[in-house]
Chains A and B, each alone.
Chain A
Amino acid sequence: MHNFWTIFGVWMAAFLTLAIFSFLYKDNPFYKLAEHLYVGTSAGYMLIYTYFLTIKPMLIDPITKQQQFFLFIPAFFGIIMLTRWFPKIAWLSRWSIAFTIGIGTGLAITGSIQGILIPQIKGTLIALHGWNWTTLNNLLIIIGVISTLTYFYFSKAHKGVIGKTAKIGIIYIMIAFGASFGYTVMGRISLLIGRMYFLFHDWIPLIR
């Protein structure tokens, strides 16, 4: 029986993969079917996951089994988030939002300063001594940081020295975009390789 369901699963996955790929030819009912199935299944899956991995173990079980009644307070804040659907009492949801923003801002400020700003400034304070590749790399990093920051400095017109430095900054930004695009292509092709491998290994065993 297990074997039947495994085979059924592979055929179903293969059909849905081909249905999605069929969009590359043109829009068609098979693509629409697969698309709607995907959206519906994802929503259902997330609903179940949210209930069984969040609401039940973190709220219902502690209240019913361990009598942790203080959890009614976060539950209340969670429920009043839903008042946004009712215009007359929608203002109540601001309490929850204020709470979330407060925590988020507090965490973000400390995280950004302690975890990004200071270590990254420290990472730019690098040695420039001797004639070797490390020095050249370090020099490129320093020029890149200064010129890119200058490009995003808008309190003075980009003319003269500031304009020329900003132009160097644009070159750095373009190189960064190029590297990101190259990596993105690699990522997307990897996904295609994954699907092709599934189709021609698990479904039609051509790849052995």
Chain B
Amino acid sequence: MNIFERIEKIDRRIIFLLVAIAVLLPLIFKVRMEIPISEPVKKAFVSVDTLSSGTYILISVDYDPASMPELQPMYKTLLMQCFEKGLKPVMIVQWPLGLPLSIKAMSEMAVEYNRMARAEGKDTVVYGVDYCNIGYRPGGVAQIVGIGKEIRDYFESDYKGTPLDSLPMMNNIHNYDNFALLFALEAGSMGDFYVQYANARFGIKIIFGMTAVSAPDAYPYLQSGQIIGLLGGLQGAAEYETLMKKPGFATMGMTAQSWVHVLIVLFILLGNIGYFINRKKRRS
């Protein structure tokens, strides 16, 4: 049995083991690599970064723990950018299981920013004044359309049950017109509905942060100008972290990601070479 015949019959568990090693080694030994910045991520970053202090930004957290490794780093970096720029993020959740994730990251980033701000003598951020989370409500498409008219028709209170009118930052906020842009973090099809209704009907600018699986479907929206920026999967999150000069989980994970990709390409090449050599042998 030659080497290619052996490769053809390799136990799949060896491949699993090699993939696990390729993921683990760069994480343990902190191997870092350069993260090149793509145009869609740069556009997203610049669109947020050039907003003036005090501008409102709507962040839709539409994912659950299954997509957390890809989308949570984007969300955290975006929140930090909002706090540093003095923007006022309003979180909204379309996936019920996204609510605990949105609250957890929001609280963590507020604590982290406030610690930094105190050390540097800057103003700290306060819930209800500088940022808020109005939580999850069912309704999907009808709700997305309804927010175009009045946000209180669907969200009377925030995630804690505090009436929106009791949150100082929400006093004059009624619909999409009050937000400079919508940053939608999407693991499913909610993004399509935001484009179809929030953008097409009400004209709000949209940026997508998407799981890698959904990202290719969003490129036509980018090309047609229906969205102004796109972050795709862990790579998109790593690029955003790089632009923010705050390397985190995504930046660390991209080295492991690249190692596994090289391994998979090697497997594909070896498998195909082996297949053609063995086929030629069998024919002869």
**A197 in contact (CB, < 8 A):** yes
For A122, the chain B residues whose CB sits under 8 A away are: 224
CB–CB A193/B69 < 8 A: yes
Chain B interface residues toward A at CB < 8 A = 13, 16, 19-20, 23-24, 27-28, 66, 68-70, 96-97, 136-138, 141-142, 145, 193, 195-197, 199-201, 211-213, 215-216, 220, 223-226, 232-235, 249, 252-253, 256-257, 260-261, 264
State which of B96, B195, B213 has its C-beta within 8 Å of the C-beta of A187: B213
Given contacts A189-B19, A193-B253, A207-B28, 4 further A-B contacts (CB under 8 A): A107-B142, A111-B141, A189-B260, A189-B261
State which of A116, A187, A195 has its C-beta within 8 Å of the C-beta of B233: A187
CB–CB B234/A123 < 8 A: no
CB–CB B224/A186 < 8 A: no
CB–CB A186/B223 < 8 A: no
20 pairs from A and B in contact (CB 8 Å cutoff): A46-B96, A53-B136, A107-B142, A115-B199, A119-B224, A119-B225, A123-B223, A123-B224, A183-B212, A183-B215, A186-B257, A186-B261, A187-B212, A189-B19, A189-B23, A193-B23, A193-B234, A194-B68, A195-B69, A196-B23
Question: How many interface residues does chain A have, given as a range?
Answer: 35 or more
For B216, the chain A residues whose CB sits under 8 A away are: 176, 179-180, 183
Q: How far is the CB of A58 from chain B (nearest CB, A)?
A: 7
Say yes or no: A193-B256 contact (C-beta < 8 A), given A49-B96, A185-B261, A186-B233. yes
CB–CB B136/A200 < 8 A: no
CB–CB B195/A24 < 8 A: no
For B261, the chain A residues whose CB sits under 8 A away are: 185-186, 189
CB–CB A200/B138 < 8 A: no
Q: How far is the CB of A53 from chain B (nearest CB, A)?
A: 6
CB–CB A119/B249 < 8 A: no
Smallest Cβ-Cβ distance to B250: which chain A residue: A190
**A4 in contact (CB, < 8 A):** no
Main secondary structure of the interface of A (DSSP, over half): helix
CB–CB B137/A112 < 8 A: no
CB–CB B138/A193 < 8 A: no
A17 to B261, CA, bound (A): 23
CB–CB B212/A184 < 8 A: yes
For B69, the chain A residues whose CB sits under 8 A away are: 190-191, 193-195, 197
Most buried by A among B201, B223, B232: B223
Q: How far is the CB of A36 from chain B (nearest CB, A)?
A: 18
**A192 in contact (CB, < 8 A):** yes
CB–CB A189/B137 < 8 A: no
**A103 in contact (CB, < 8 A):** yes
**A141 in contact (CB, < 8 A):** yes
Say yes or no: A187-B224 contact (C-beta < 8 A), given A24-B16, A179-B216, A206-B28. no
For A45, the chain B residues whose CB sits under 8 A away are: 97
Smallest Cβ-Cβ distance to A115: which chain B residue: B196
A123 to B212, CA, bound (A): 23
For B145, the chain A residues whose CB sits under 8 A away are: 107
A58 to B225, CA, bound (A): 37
State which of A53, A176, A186 has its C-beta within 8 Å of the C-beta of B235: A186
Q: How far is the CB of B22 from chain A (nearest CB, A)?
A: 9
A120 to B27, CA, bound (A): 42
Q: How far is the CB of A66 from chain B (nearest CB, A)?
A: 11
**A70 in contact (CB, < 8 A):** no
Smallest Cβ-Cβ distance to B140: which chain A residue: A107
For A53, the chain B residues whose CB sits under 8 A away are: 96, 136-138
For A186, the chain B residues whose CB sits under 8 A away are: 212, 233-235, 257, 261
For A206, the chain B residues whose CB sits under 8 A away are: 28
For A120, the chain B residues whose CB sits under 8 A away are: 220, 224
